Amino acid sequence: MSRNILMAVGAGLGSSVLFLLVLSGNPLALLLSYFGHLPLFLIGLWQGPKRLLVAAIAACSALVLLGGLLPFTVFMVVFAGPAMLLTRLALVTRKDETGKPGFVPTGIVVSAMAVMIAMVMIVITGSVTAEGLDIQEFISQFLGQMYSEMGVPMTPELQNIIDMFQTYFPAIVAVSWLLMLFANAAIAQAILVRSGRNLRPSPDLASMALPGWSLFAFALAGFLVGFADGSLAYVARNVAVVLAVPFLIQGLALVHGQAARWPQKRMILTVFYIVAVLSTWSFIAITGLGIVEHLIRLRGKQPMTRSNEEDR
């Protein structure tokens, strides 16, 4: 067995161990489980999709032996499947407008992953509905049971929190999942770039542009929210939140592009992110900015940065 295959198997086993840390109940272990995608992305973005498939098979085999079909299924849906899809998209090459070979633009990868996560959410919520259950009631009971097992008494205040969370609970879970996917991929890419083992150059956030169909998908979900009712409206509302994530990133791309025009770029971005984290509404504003940028191209065809401004 070659060294590269052994490393792929090791990465898969490491990912499965991080995945199983969720079952420990330890807060630190739970935090580490968020990096379960990282070993998979390290192998995939370094040695390609075939080695990533080897890692996924090793992880899934170990999980079947240790826990049966349930952990295997969850791992495939939450960890291995998305990691393989994102890696495959990131490493696909095609010709650009000038006829030169290049990698798929970051905007397409981000939008495609958001659609994939939204589709998984539709399948899961649809399965709950098919069982004759009310989705919101099911989620309310799930959250109530979760707090009960944690020993938290059910008070009117806690019930209000549950009622608030159940409205967007699928979207909260899906968006967290999507952002952790991107975060793990970015960390893996940074590690590989530093060690000189990356297969593709790191994407420039300031130059990211979304494909045209991303707005159509988001608008379709918004249309269903306005004209549907019941479970369909609930699912459409949560899907719309997930499909808004690429526009949030597009808004951040615009901010990074404008900040690059100033010598105090890092200080500007640091202050910006501090304000954004402290205000939930800021993310809505940034998403709106991303939609405006998508429609009228505030940056033009080539984002203005300090470097290309000086070249002119």
Alpha helices in 155-279 (DSSP H): 156-195, 213-227, 230-243, 245-259, 265-278
Instruction: Let me know: does 244 contact 287? Beta carbons within 8 Å.
Output: yes
Q: What is the mean pLDDT of the chain?
A: 84
273 or 309, greater pLDDT: 273
pLDDT at 79: 92
Closest listed residue to residue 44, CA positions, set 83, 10, 81: 83
- Give the percent of the chain with pLDDT over 70: 89
Residue 311: pLDDT over 50 = no
pLDDT at 194: 93
Q: How far apart are CA 307 and CA 312, in angstroms?
A: 9
How far lies 259's CA from each of 262, 270, 299, in Å?
A: 6, 11, 12
CA angle 299, 201, 211 (to 5 degrees): 40
Q: What are the b/e assignments for 120-133, b being 16+ CB within 10 Å?
A: bbbebbeebbeeee
Summarised one tens digit per residue, pLDDT across range 1-59 is 688 899 999 999 999 998 888 776 667 777 888 899 999 999 999 999 999 999 999 99
Summarised one tens digit per residue, pLDDT across range 57-111 is 999 999 988 877 888 888 998 899 999 999 999 998 877 666 677 888 899 999 9
Give the mean pLDDT of 152-172. 77
Residue 116: pLDDT over 90 = yes
Instruction: Let me know: does 38 contact 184? Beta carbons within 8 Å.
Output: yes
Closest listed residue to residue 290, CA positions, set 92, 91, 114: 114
pLDDT at 188: 95
Residue 305: pLDDT over 50 = no
Give the mean pLDDT of 282-306. 75
Q: 51: which strand partners? A: none
Residue 195: pLDDT over 90 = yes
Judged by average pLDDT, the poorest of 127-131, 302-306, 308-312 is 308-312
Q: How far apart are CA 68 and CA 176, in angstroms?
A: 26
Summarised one tens digit per residue, pLDDT across range 216-268 is 999 999 898 888 877 888 889 999 999 999 999 999 888 888 887 888 888 88
What tokens appear for 311 in the block? 């070249």
